[in-house]
Structures are given as C-alpha cells and as structure tokens.
Structure 1
Amino acid sequence: MRDSIKKAIGETVQDIMNSGFKTSFTEKELNSLGVTIPEVQLSTHQIKEIRETLNVSQTVFAKLLNVSPSSIRQWEQGKRQPTGSTRVLLDLLKRSPNILDYRLKA
C-alpha cells in the first residue's frame, strides 16, 4: 500500500475513533495504519485542579473515583501516580468535569 494512501486511511480511522463511532480494529491494525492511542499524562497540579474544579474534598473525590483518600493525597503530593483506568477517568474529568455528577445524590 502506498504511504500516502496508508496515511489517509490512518487519518480517517483516527477521525472515526475520535468521533465516537464503534470500531473493532485490533492494535496491530491500528499500528499498521499509524493510529496511536496516546498515553495519558497528568501532573500533580492537574490532578488537584480536577478535584478543585469539582469543588470536593479529597475524601469525596476518592469516593467518586472508588480509590482510597490516601491515593488522592499521594497523587496530589507527587508521591504516586494514578494508573490504568483511573488515569483515563481523570483525563475524562479534566475534559468533562460533570461526567460523574450522577454519582452525587442529593
């Protein structure tokens, strides 16, 4: 496959994925098209900023994320970093702070 065609297909696939359409590409297929899933990077300041945007304490934030309050403290102090799906969830909260509003019941 010519590089220009491969690049165009890769960009189209990336656009499809970014738009929210369901896809069933394998990692190998995505790699062959040059489509990458970037790693989520969050600084200690960003994690604290996400929590403050939600206007909740560390304890409440921990309950929303289903982690220990100690984890929140350690993330905000830079002693540890969130991992896996928690990192992705924090990135989603950074982009859409109201995403977990349903978890707060009045």
Structure 2
Amino acid sequence: MDIEKIAKAIETDIGEALPELRQALAEAEAGIGRVTTPEQILLREARVKTGLSQKEFAQRINTPPSTLRDWEQGRFKPPGAVVCLMRLLMNHPELSNELASPV
C-alpha cells in the first residue's frame, strides 16, 4: 500500500490536510486498530435514519437482533440483498414502515 499516495488522494478529495491520516493508514496496513467497512456504516446509518433500535430494526428486516449486531460490528458481512435494502432505506427511511406491515 502506498500510504503517501492514498493520503494525498484523500486530502485532495476533502480539500484539507489531515495530520494524523498517514499514521492511521500505517496502523490499518499493520492490522492495528479497528477497520470499519462501508457495509457496516451503511447498516448503522440506515437503521439510525429510520429511528429504530437494533431490536426493532432487526424485526422489520426479519432477522435476529444478534445477526444485525454482527453485521454492524463487522463480524459478518451482510448478504447483497440486505445491502440493497439498506441503500433503499437510506434514501427512503419511511419505507421501514412498510416492512412492519404483514404481507
């Protein structure tokens, strides 16, 4: 991994210097610290946007709360269909109400 190249690209993207970025990238490369995946961020943000707790959200998407926790904490990667649903809920959080209705 070219840490300097990646750091410059990130700083150019956001338009400002990030003094601790190189250290963070070096730690990530070394396996130090926690890595958060885009799927984890998407899941958490979608749930927060709906205003539901983990338990309530898990019920809405018909999955055990422990599975949702595992996805949010990065222990397991959610299936593609779940990621797709989260993208829909990010743009239309009100759709979570439709998931509460019996089929």
Separation in 1, partners of 2:88, 2:38: 11
Evaluate the alpha carbon distance shift between residue 42 and residue 91 of structure 1 in structure 2; reply closer, same or farther with a 3 A threshold.
Answer: farther
Structure possessing the higher relative contact order (Cα contacts under 8 Å, 6 or more residues apart): 2
- SS of 1:43's equivalent? helix
Task: Give structure 1 regions of 4+ aligned residues with deviation exceeding 3 angstroms.
Answer: none
Structure 1 position 72 matched with structure 2 position 92: no
Render the CA deviation track for 1:50-79: whole Å, top value 9, x for unaligned. Answer: 111111111110010011101110111011
Identity of aligned residues (%): 31
The residue type paired with residue 84 of structure 1 is: G
Separation in 1, partners of 2:67, 2:41: 15
Any gaps of 5 or more consecutive residues in structure 2?
1-36
Any gaps of 5 or more consecutive residues in structure 1?
1-40
The residue type paired with residue 75 of structure 1 is: W
1:6 alignment partner in structure 2: none
2:87 alignment partner in structure 1: 91
Separation in 1, partners of 2:95, 2:41: 20
Evaluate the alpha carbon distance shift between residue 51 and residue 99 of structure 1 in structure 2; reply closer, same or farther with a 3 A threshold.
Answer: same
How far the C-alpha of 1:102 sits from its partner, in A, is 2.8
Which has a greater percent of helix? 2
Supply the RMSD in Å over aligned alpha carbons.
1.9
How far the C-alpha of 1:82 sits from its partner, in A, is 1.1
- With normalisation by structure 2, the TM-score equals 0.55
